[in-house]
Amino acid sequence: MAILVDQGTRLIVQGMTGRAGTFYTDLAIEYGTGVVAGVTPGKGGSRHIGVPIFATVAEAVRETRANASLIFVPAQQAGAAMIEAVEAAVPLIVCVTERVPTLDMVRVRHALEGSPTKLVGPNSQGVLSPAKCKVGVMSTADARPGAVGIVSRSASLTSEIVAQTSAAGLGQSTTVGIGADPVHGIGFVDCLRLFMDDDETEGVILIGEIGGNEEEAAADYLRRERPQKPVVALVAGRHAPLERRMGHAGAFTVFGQGDAAAKIEAMRSAGARIAENADLVVQTMRGALLEKAA
């Protein structure tokens, strides 16, 4: 199985006709993702790379029964694009756009309240269920079907851990890039719940970094729920200087909060197995799975 996306995903792409939208939509189609429509205001009724284009999300959903949307809209319009998809009751939205204004994301979060929609991102690599469906910009080169779920805030480390789990024969059930912005959609806890309910996911790798409180929230969840599946955590930024942003809008420590050491200790005390560096993630997961099977 998989979480969030699979062979039944019917995807629309908001901003498909732009350069990035065209490139990554073409890759998704080639991978086997069911892309059913694009959405670009002013271009409704046309076709692009063989896919029908609609002027609005509501019209695209009505005509194609789409159940997911991928957003390639520029940052200043991305918030409105997400809200449009929420108002059209799209079950899953994946937004890869970077630098979406924080106030716009506050408005998006308000629109999401009480809705059935799950948002991944913004500033997300996307969601990949190997050999089933790709929604986003995540590389498929090293992805292989398997039993390990991966949820991450870091794009580069995601690629590294996907390659390592595939090389070790573990593979991935689904990989989710939740995005690194301070205001975003679903987080570590939401993904952990989904992975724990997925029969074919046997263990979860959580890739965190400094800043925010995602890791602390995940630790609270693990402490409260005591899930039976092992969770291996890697937290990047142990040597990052205080109050200096490291790559992502949400990756910085301030007033002594959000540092890697505190996050690592919170996860460890909640029962997660800590990988001290990226090279030890797969070894740590393999040991946890063998221990669980014994």
Looking at the fold, whether 99 and 192 belong to one and the same domain comes out as no
Go through 114-125 and write b for each residue having 16 or more CB atoms within 10 A of its CB, e for each that does not: eeebbbbbbbbb
Looking at the fold, whether 145 and 267 belong to one and the same domain comes out as yes
* pTM for this entry: 0.94
Q: What angle do CA 109, 112, 114 make, to 5 degrees?
A: 130
Residue 180: the pLDDT is 84
Looking at the fold, whether 284 and 238 belong to one and the same domain comes out as yes
Last residue of some domain: 55, 90, 120? Answer: 120
Instruction: Decide: helix, strand or coil at residue 152.
Output: strand
Looking at the fold, whether 23 and 113 belong to one and the same domain comes out as yes
- C-beta of residue 146 within 8 angstroms of C-beta of residue 161: no
- β-partners of residue 52 are 47
Structural domain boundaries, residue 235: 141-293
Residue 219: the pLDDT is 98
Give Rg (Cα) of the chain. Answer: 19
Looking at the fold, whether 173 and 283 belong to one and the same domain comes out as yes
Residue 260: the pLDDT is 85
Along the 294 residues of the chain, how does pLDDT read in single tens digits? 799 999 999 999 999 999 999 999 999 999 999 999 999 999 999 999 999 999 999 999 999 999 999 999 999 999 999 999 999 999 999 999 999 999 999 999 999 999 999 999 999 999 999 999 999 999 999 999 999 999 999 999 999 999 999 999 999 999 999 998 889 999 999 999 999 999 999 999 999 998 889 999 999 999 999 999 999 999 986 655 555 555 554 444 444 456 888 999 999 999 999 999 999 999 999 999 999 887
Q: What angle do CA 278, 196, 114 make, to 5 degrees?
A: 110
The domain spanning residue 199 has which CATH number? 3.40.50.261
Marked catalytic residue, from 48, 184, 239, 248: 248
Residue found under tokens 């197995």: 273
CA 243 to chain centre: 26
- Locate all alpha helices (DSSP H) within the chain, ordered by sequence: 19-31, 57-64, 75-87, 102-112, 155-167, 188-197, 214-225, 260-269, 281-293
Looking at the fold, whether 114 and 213 belong to one and the same domain comes out as no
The domain spanning residue 100 has which CATH number? 3.40.50.720
Residue 5 in any domain: the answer is no
User: Annotated catalytic, 184?
Assistant: no
Residue 131 in any domain: the answer is no
Q: At what angle do helices 214-225 and 260-269 cross, to 10 degrees?
A: 10
Looking at the fold, whether 115 and 151 belong to one and the same domain comes out as no
Name the domain count of the chain: 2
Instruction: Decide: helix, strand or coil at residue 81.
Output: helix
